[in-house]
A and B are shown apart, each in its own frame.
Chain A
Amino acid sequence: MSFINLREKIVQVKVVYYGPGRGGKTSNLEYINRKFSKQIQSEMVSLKTHGDRTLFFDFLPFDMGKIKGYELKIQLYTVPGQVKYNATRKLVLKGVDGLVFVADAQEAMREKNIRSLNQLHENLKGYKESIFKIPLVMQYNKVDLRNQGIPVLPTAVLEKDLNSKLKVPSFEASALTGYNVPETLKKIISSTVVSVQKKLL
């Protein structure tokens, strides 16, 4: 749930990057952290295992500047992607205002994407939120692997698998090179802000 401080005119909004393990959620935030360093006043917080996998979450506060006199602070979070960490994923989802689903476009990951999305649906229900109502953007990550001869699913297949019912905005992306990472971020921020405005004002 977003929070509005009327005295200091600050709006805080929580955006969570969700998706299967090793899909590129943390890489998205790392790219944003490098690329938009001017808008980020504090360091990225990463709680990870020795093997560099996200254990709890990554956190990156992102300043959007002022909108109608209100300072907009976007709090970006990721969840741990591994199947066994669902309890942690649920904790991070608490109070979420907007979601980016980072799917792994590799052919071998097809099943895992679908399972992760289904679990997101269930987890949101636990907070009485609906995947059909909450602002959501799809990102088909790792499309750059096509050039290296690794089998990558065509976007049409990913759309059919993951987005045929949801019909949310979607992007092909490469979190490593940054391709469409800012576009994904812009899209989720604008849909989330519109939805928060509707809910609160």
Chain B
Amino acid sequence: MNYGVVSQEQLEKIDEILSEQLIKIGVDCVIIIDMAGNIITAKDNGTSKYDVYSFAALAAGNFATVDAMAKLVGEQEFSLLFHKGTDCNIHFSKIDEELLLITMFGKHISLGFLRLNVVKALEQIRKLWAGK
């Protein structure tokens, strides 16, 4: 799969999945980035104002660092990457070798509920790639 260009149709379908599975349950912001730190798509609830470009660069670096740490202790990867704050939490998951899904959400959503929905979204996005 060539990540260099994603068609308009694919992006719209991905946005639909993100809205349906994540924004609808009250997530503030969802971003899909590649491991180089480029933004593939970003969706928010209309009120959050994050600097998504800087965020993508840092998130890609963060994920790569954690991945390298996993290898150092003999793990394939750390599958759950989650940062907890007072008002905002960030959850990272790998879509595949090249893509990351990042979810930012507030304190009113439980981590378990979020993870369930993230898994559903991931399955649908992977299916979309596979069907290409």
Contact = CB atoms under 8 A, between A and B. Distances in A.
B53 A14 contact: no
Contacts of B3: 1, 3
Contact of B34 (A1, A77, A96): A1
A55 B3 CA distance: 29
Interface string A1-23: 11111110000101000000000
A43 B58 CA distance: 13
A42 B53 contact: yes
Interface string B1-31: 0011111100110000000000000000000
Interface string A86-99: 01000110111000
Interface stretch (B61-69, B84-92, B102-110, B117-125): B61-69
Contact of B53 (A2, A47, A61, A77): A61
A5 B31 CA distance: 14
Interface in A71-97: 73, 75, 77, 87, 91-92, 94-96
Nearest to B7: A6
A101 interface: no
A45 B11 contact: no
A200 B4 contact: yes
A6 B11 contact: yes
A199 interface: yes
B38 A95 contact: yes
Interface string B30-66: 0000111111110000000001011001101100110
Contact of B35 (A5, A94, A200): A94
Contact of A75 (B4, B35, B40, B57): B57
Interface of A: 1-7, 12, 14, 42-43, 45, 47, 56-57, 59, 61, 73, 75, 77, 87, 91-92, 94-96, 199-200
Given A14-B36, A45-B58, 20 more contacts: A1-B4, A3-B36, A3-B40, A5-B11, A7-B8, A12-B38, A14-B38, A42-B53, A45-B57, A57-B57, A57-B61, A59-B37, A59-B57, A75-B38, A87-B68, A91-B65, A92-B61, A94-B60, A95-B34, A95-B35
26 contacts: A1-B3, A1-B4, A3-B5, A3-B34, A3-B40, A5-B40, A7-B12, A12-B39, A14-B36, A14-B38, A42-B51, A43-B51, A45-B58, A59-B37, A59-B54, A61-B54, A75-B57, A77-B57, A87-B68, A91-B64, A91-B68, A94-B35, A94-B36, A94-B64, A95-B34, A200-B5
Interface of B: 3-8, 11-12, 34-41, 51, 53-54, 57-58, 60-61, 64-65, 68
